[in-house]
Amino acid sequence: MAEVSFSVWFITGCSTGFGRELAKLTLDRGWPTVVTARDKSRVADLTDGRDNALALDLDVTDMDQTGKAVRAAEEKFGRIDVLVNNAGYGYQAAIEEGEEDEIRAMFDANVFGLFAMTRAVLPGMRSRRKGHIINITSLAGFMGLPGSGYYAATKHAVEGFSDALSLEAGPLGIKVTCVEPGPFRTDWAGRSLKQTPGRIADYAETAGARMAATSGYSGRQPGDPVRAGEAMIAATEAEEAPRHLVLGAFAYQNVTKKLKERLAQIELWEEISLSADFPS
């Protein structure tokens, strides 16, 4: 039997931003692609008239809908080779001013929805001993920023989950990549970002200032979402897929700086760290 030369993609959150641009790229290459959104009519312009496309309604916080979407994809195309967990959104507030309902709703989408999607595709990938799971996190998966503590917590959770998944599923032929973008020129700040306005003056120069800057930055970010999509495709085609794919100069500079600072601090406290064990 001839080796299959293309991958079947399943992308969540395709109505806007990274998901939409990536779906355009895979579809234009002729690759079978499952294009999802909470309301699939919002992606009809991407999929109508294409034999290689399947548009599905998908709210990743709905466990029943998640399972149905994966089954529909496998019935249509026979398998899922690449899952892109892109669906999610941001929420900004000072830590002290965060609202419980908003925090939990974001965790449901960014964390528990991603977990559920991953669990749903793993049986098929495991049976074939092949697959690639791409989790869209953020530079916030490496560092917290004022006003984005709860958002960073969701992305840190996905990074830790992905580390463990890579160790469990890697020996079974399943690759795991976290994509960690900085600011990209999508409508994320306009459509996919919620905020709780600050009321405590003590946080005006930290959380408040960053929240104001974020909401006023939309449309001027340096990152190109089309190039980001090309980078994700390149990651799936690489013989050694990256475990981390940091995108954009802002993210690269800040992530590498943060990791160097963290290592330096850990090494500075090496003696105290090692002293915590029982004497040998």
Please, what are the domains in the chain? 9-274 (3.40.50.720)
Q: Report which of 160, 171, 99 is spatially closest to residue 131, judged by C-alpha positions.
A: 171
Q: Is the pTM of this model over 0.85?
A: yes
Rounded average pLDDT over 250-269: 97
Of the listed ranges 14-28, 47-61, 71-85, 185-199, the least confidently predicted one is 185-199
**pLDDT score, position 111:** 98
Active site residues: 151
Rounded average pLDDT over 70-97: 97
The pLDDT-based confidence of 223 (bands split at 50, 70, 90) is confident
CA distance 280 to 274: 11
Q: Report which of 8, 7, 9, 4 is spatially closest to residue 21, judged by C-alpha positions.
A: 9
**pLDDT score, position 87:** 96
**pLDDT score, position 218:** 64
Question: Percentage of residues in the chain with pLDDT exceeding 70?
Answer: 94
The pLDDT-based confidence of 1 (bands split at 50, 70, 90) is very low
**Phi/psi at 178 (nearest 5 deg)?**
-100, 125
Sequence-distant (6+) residues with CB within 8 A of 186 are: 16, 17, 18, 221, 225
DSSP letter for 69, please: H
pLDDT tens digit sequence for 95-120? 999 999 999 999 999 999 999 999 99
pLDDT tens digit sequence for 121-140? 999 999 999 999 999 999 99
Residue 163: how many other CB atoms lie within 10 Å: 13
